[in-house]
């Protein structure tokens, strides 16, 4: 099963293995460098069918750390083109995850301790749907106004246009792990009383608007993925039932695949980590007709084959 190809729109993946987007904290001012070329190129040489580039910020303020990759200016494109050309030359498909870290932005990199960076210490003012800090260690984010929300949508649009020019063949919208778009989805972090808060339909509005706006500027045949936290592992948060409902709506909007992760938005949540712990989420979402990718403690070829054989992802 691992080696069966998978066609998504006009893209064919040569096997069922994709490399998840994983932050590497190795960029300066958002620019990729030779380190990234070797890092991603090596995985393509190794035979992975799909290489999803780490969370790439649509604005400097949307970076998790000052060392994140970015795609907020045209100057970033040139090096990405080199990376995507090499990935393609190895028979793999280059994808990019577009991200805005919201209230979880402005941290130091993990190797430096990962602490929150105040503006005085090289960080910046964070933003979110509501002025609710992620944890006791972080500052209170600034609540986005309606016009600033429209600006965020435009940032994703411009980033998508650059991603197409840079040669990426799939775009993944990051709406997981407690970053901005998921902060809007979750009743734990979104206490707004306008059209972007409250009931389910309002909380999903920003994600839907980003998806629709990006679809307008990318080629019709270009696949779009959305990364979600399928559950927040706490009663007061976003649930798998809401994710399934969201999947049905995103399927109608033309999203091709949901990349099914979990957690990240509630600092106190307790996650039951064990092998294949997130596979049931991909399975539940797939029943809507949405293609799914599963991630997290999937470590052997036997596990992969079992997931595919059972049709769980």
Positions marked active-site: 179
Tokens 């990318």: give the residue: 218
Nearest to 118 by CA among 148, 140, 134, 144: 140
> Counting Cβ atoms within 10 Å, is residue 88 exposed (0-12), middle (13-18) or buried (19+)?
middle
How does DSSP classify residue 148? H
d(CA 80, CA 76): 7
d(CA 78, CA 101): 24
Tokens 């307008």: give the residue: 216
Whether 297 contacts 275, CB under 8 Å: yes
């Amino acid at each position: 099963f691992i080696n069966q190809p998978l066609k998504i729109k006009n893209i064919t993946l040569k096997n069922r293995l994709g490399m998840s987007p994983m932050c590497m904290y190795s960029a300066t001012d958002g620019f990729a460098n030779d380190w990234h070329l070797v890092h991603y190129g090596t995985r393509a040489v190794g035979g992975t069918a799909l290489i999803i580039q780490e969370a790439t910020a649509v604005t400097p303020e949307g970076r998790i750390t000052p060392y994140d990759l970015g795609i907020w200016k045209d100057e970033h494109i040139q090096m990405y083109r080199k990376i995507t050309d090499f990935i393609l030359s190895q028979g793999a498909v280059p994808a990019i995850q577009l991200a805005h870290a919201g209230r979880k932005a402005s941290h130091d990199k993990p190797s430096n301790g990962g602490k929150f960076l105040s503006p005085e210490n090289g960080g910046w003012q964070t933003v979110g749907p509501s002025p609710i800090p992620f944890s006791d260690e972080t500052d209170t984010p600034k609540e986005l106004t309606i016009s600033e929300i429209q600006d965020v949508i435009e940032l994703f649009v411009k980033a998508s246009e650059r991603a197409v020019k840079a040669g990426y063949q799939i775009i993944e919208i990051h709406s997981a792990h407690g970053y901005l778009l998921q902060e809007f989805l979750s009743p734990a972090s979104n206490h707004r009383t306008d059209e972007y808060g409250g009931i389910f339909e309002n909380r999903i509005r920003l994600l839907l608007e980003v998806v629709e706006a990006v679809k307008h500027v990318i080629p019709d045949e270009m696949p779009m993925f959305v990364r979600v936290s399928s559950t927040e592992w706490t009663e007061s948060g976003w649930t798998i039932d809401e994710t399934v409902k969201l999947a049905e709506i995103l399927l109608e909007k033309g999203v091709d695949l949901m990349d099914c992760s979990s957690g990240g938005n509630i600092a106190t949540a307790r996650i039951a980590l064990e092998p294949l712990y997130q596979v049931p989420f991909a399975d539940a979402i797939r029943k809507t007709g949405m293609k799914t990718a599963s991630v997290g403690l999937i470590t052997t070829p036997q596990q992969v084959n079992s997931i595919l054989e059972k049709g769980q992802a």
